Amino acid sequence: MDYRKEYRRFITSHYLSDGVRITVGIALPAILLSYFNLLSEGIAISLGAMCASTTDIPGPIHHRRNGMMICVIAVILVALLTTIASTHPLWMGSLIAVFCFVFCMIGVYGARSNSIGVAALLIMVLSIDRPLPGSELLLHLLYLTAGGLWYMVLSLALYSIRPYKLAQQALGENILNTSAYLRIRALFYSNDVNYDEVYQQMLEQQVKVEQSQNLVNELLFKNRTVIKESIPTGRILMMIHLDVLDLFEKTITSFQDYKLLHSYFDNSDILQKYQEVIYQMADELDEIGIAVQSGYPATANEKLQDSVQQLKKYFEDFRNARHTAENLEGLINLRQILQSIEDIVSRLNTLQLYTTYDKKKIKTDTDIADYSGLINTQNISWQLLKDNLTFDSNTFRHAVRVSIATLAGYIISRYLSVGHSYWILLTIIVILKPTYSLTQKRNYQRLLGTAIGALIALGLLFFIENKTALFACMLILMVGTYSFLRSNYLLGVIFTTAYILVLFHLVYGTNLKTIFTDRLIDTAIGSLIAFIANFLIVPAWEKEKIKDYMLAALEKNTAYFKDVAAAFSGKPVIISGYKKSRQDAFVALANLSDAFTRMLSEPKFRQYNSEQVHRFVVLNHTLTSHIATLSHYVLTHASKQASEDFSSIINADTAKLQSASDILKGGEPESKINEAVDTHKINERLNELLSKRKNELNEKIFDTATRQSLGELKPVVDQFNLISSIAVDLNKISAELKVLP
């Protein structure tokens, strides 16, 4: 790992910016009011700011503003009702169950709505043991409101000063994730490659790429200033994003039959030469990503250009020395990869130019209306909520699970003499997630992070007696807390625990041993309750839903194939439709990959045919890659090669893909699904060209019209044949998996 690069990536990321902004928003009211001996009032205002900050997650500014406003209203309502009921255990228990169910259910409306629910439950937990008389309650609610509004004003003011900073940081993060994906793909060129392991890494990374792409889509396509006006910065960011989307697709189009390549060339070092250049490309993409995050121009990399030219010459010499009829197909594949590398490097040069934000050198007049369909809209309706009020909904199960577990935690806390027992409830609410795998991961991280954070706090308080120095340490811990909670939960918990313990010592002067013991015991109790609830209370296992993800991936891939293949039968290409089907296919594949990864984290006896499902996921990823590769030839080859000869193979491949979906739904396999691909007219034409070209090579005739025709037709037909072969395999594996419940 390049620690210097990781450091640069972190300090320019939106995670650190968020951490600093939230820390200032929360800490400043308490610090200022403490100078006027109003620390308790300052803490109440800071609490309101902390709740509002929970909903201030990356997204369009109007979504952030609306989310914070709704959060403030929800927090006031929950604080009012909880404080009133706090002296009546029966009422309090009922209120806990209702609030937990309601504020978990609103998660059906997306991540921001879910964060509002978290803020509401947070204030509920912190208000349970704080009964207040009427006048004090009113003041407390006013302080909470002031804190929430203060944080909202701070966040919106910072956005108005730097309106494109978040988009830059999110876009840079997406570029860095794309670079990581490219680096994983380079592993296929290693002689000792473990294909299953690399496929798993690749699938997991694609999920991260898709998530970061979706965030940038929202930040840019939902920003009217970028869409409708010619603001240079916004338009350039848009162009960077569109180029990165295409670059990611281009990365996927470089997919090859790597086992076949190794069978041809493992006795040479040419695959390692390719791998070295791909690693250099990933390094360059890293530099561009960090430059976009920071807002500074990336430095042009002349070394990469030289490396590509050297690779090109090495390939030409290698081909001339080893060119035979037997390795013809392997050399053609290597040439295709080299062409993809040259294209990606050209795109990297364009991206590097974009980072200068020099509008005189950059063309920004691309019509982005064709791309607006890439954003996903969230349907806010009562019907959506009603549709999820069933045990078929994971959100509903999660809401029931949290309600029962938190109520159990409240009852147990009533009979414990340990102080700060609200930590039990807070632990349950934070740990319990809709999926088993994420809950178990959070449970482990929460316990480990609490123990490490407590030890860090113990060390700080033991070695540092000066309160000013301790306060400075606490602020650093706060920044760490709010920087890592959304990106690295374990580190976030470590910082949170240390910061909370130091805070309690500074504000209340409480005995450290008491706080340390309470924190560990309450966290352990909460974790145990969360573990039991996760396993026993209406659990949601991935095997129950993975069939839906499998069908979605197949259907979206089929639609993607139809849009791309149509160009080779002579139909016009509609860019907006093709881009949308590409995005849908990538998202569906990422969702399937994510669901499969979660299933692997569940108990073995709760998994279903994990080997077969893994093969299904890999086949779908390979299918998407080959369709993307085929799409690359639409603009360059389709106009020349379009012919009725493609019709039979297009219809056959479509029928095979549709058959795989039908089998998963319970249908029977088509009897003619395994028919030979050579029977198609386009393959007959290709075989004639191949035979002619091999004869030319045997006669030492190299540069001919046959060579050019073969170079244009073979890559296209190969993709259709590979798609056909994958579709047959998908039919076979679907037949094995159709017994899924």
CATH code at position 180: 1.20.58.220
How far apart CA 404 and CA 643 sit, in angstroms, is: 63
Q: Assess whether 206 and 146 both reside in one domain.
A: no
Confidence of residue 221 (pLDDT cuts 50, 70, 90): confident
Q: Assess whether 410 and 481 both reside in one domain.
A: yes
Position 65 scores a pLDDT of 93
CB 186 within 8 A of CB 279: yes
Position 30 scores a pLDDT of 92
Query: DSSP character for 635?
Result: I
Q: Assess whether 206 and 225 both reside in one domain.
A: yes
How far apart CA 726 and CA 623 sit, in angstroms, is: 7
Among all chains, which residue has been given the structure tokens 């290597």?
Answer: 334
| Residue 304 resides in a domain | yes
Instruction: Taking residues 366-371, report their average pLDDT.
Output: 54
For every residue of 547-584, DSSP letters joined together read: HHHHHHHHHHHHHHHHHHHGGGGTPPP-HHHHHHHHHH
How far apart CA 480 and CA 460 sit, in angstroms, is: 16
Q: Assess whether 344 and 463 both reside in one domain.
A: no
Q: 412 vs 258, 323, 405, 430, 519, CA distance in Å?
A: 58, 77, 11, 18, 16
| Residue 503 resides in a domain | yes
| Residue 398 resides in a domain | no
If one compares 697 and 187, the residue with the highest pLDDT of the two is: 187
How far apart CA 153 and CA 157 sit, in angstroms, is: 6
How far apart CA 337 and CA 258 sit, in angstroms, is: 11
Q: Assess whether 150 and 172 both reside in one domain.
A: no
CB 63 within 8 A of CB 112: yes
How far apart CA 574 and CA 560 sit, in angstroms, is: 12
Q: Assess whether 417 and 559 both reside in one domain.
A: no
How does pLDDT run across 26-50, given as a tens digit for each residue? Answer: 999 999 999 889 988 999 999 999 9
How does pLDDT run across 222-265, given as a tens digit for each residue? Answer: 766 555 555 678 888 888 998 998 888 888 766 677 888 888 88
Position 696 scores a pLDDT of 65
Q: Assess whether 424 and 567 both reside in one domain.
A: no
Q: Assess whether 255 and 312 both reside in one domain.
A: yes
- For the chain, what is the mean pLDDT? 84
pLDDT at 568 over 90: no
Among all chains, which residue has been given the structure tokens 């070295």?
Answer: 276
pTM of the predicted model as reported, rounded to 2 decimal places:
0.85
Determine the 3-state secondary structure of 390 from DSSP: coil
429 is in which domain, residue-wise? 405-538
Position 276 scores a pLDDT of 94
- Look at the alpha carbons of 219, 221, 226, 228 in this order and tell me if their dihedral is positive or negative: negative
| Residue 543: CB atoms within 10 Å | 17
pLDDT at 606 over 80: no
The lowest-confidence range among 183-192, 305-314, 676-685 is: 676-685
Confidence of residue 363 (pLDDT cuts 50, 70, 90): low
Position 574 scores a pLDDT of 67
Instruction: Taking residues 81-86, report their average pLDDT.
Output: 92
17's torsion region: left (phi>0), alpha (psi -120 to 50) or beta? alpha
How far apart CA 86 and CA 187 sit, in angstroms, is: 58
Confidence of residue 80 (pLDDT cuts 50, 70, 90): very high
pLDDT at 379 over 80: no
How far apart CA 150 and CA 338 sit, in angstroms, is: 55
Structure tokens at 387: 């549709």
| Residue 370 resides in a domain | no
Q: Which of 335, 337, 237 is nearest to 278 (CA)?
A: 337
| Residue 410 resides in a domain | yes
| Residue 378 resides in a domain | no
Residue 40 belongs to what H/E stretch? helix 39-54
pLDDT at 382 over 90: no
Q: Assess whether 480 and 527 both reside in one domain.
A: yes
Structure tokens at 140: 């407390």
Q: Which of 70, 155, 67 is nearest to 111 (CA)?
A: 67
Domain boundary among 129, 161, 193: 161
CA 579 to chain centre: 19
How far apart CA 300 and CA 49 sit, in angstroms, is: 43
How far apart CA 476 and CA 457 sit, in angstroms, is: 12
Confidence of residue 311 (pLDDT cuts 50, 70, 90): very high
Domain boundary among 538, 572, 607: 538
Position 32 scores a pLDDT of 94
Domain boundary among 124, 142, 161: 161
3-state secondary structure 175-236: HHHHHHHHHHHHHHHCCCCCHHHHHHHHHHHHHHHHHHHHHHHHHHHCCHHHHHCCCHHHHH
| Residue 258 resides in a domain | yes
Instruction: Taking residues 535-547, report their average pLDDT.
Output: 83
Total domains, the chain = 4
| Residue 115 resides in a domain | yes
| Range 77-109 burial, b when 16+ CB lie within 10 A, else e | ebbbbbbbbbeeeeebbebbbebbbbbbbbbbb
Q: Which of 649, 654, 692 is nearest to 670 (CA)?
A: 654
Length of the chain: 741
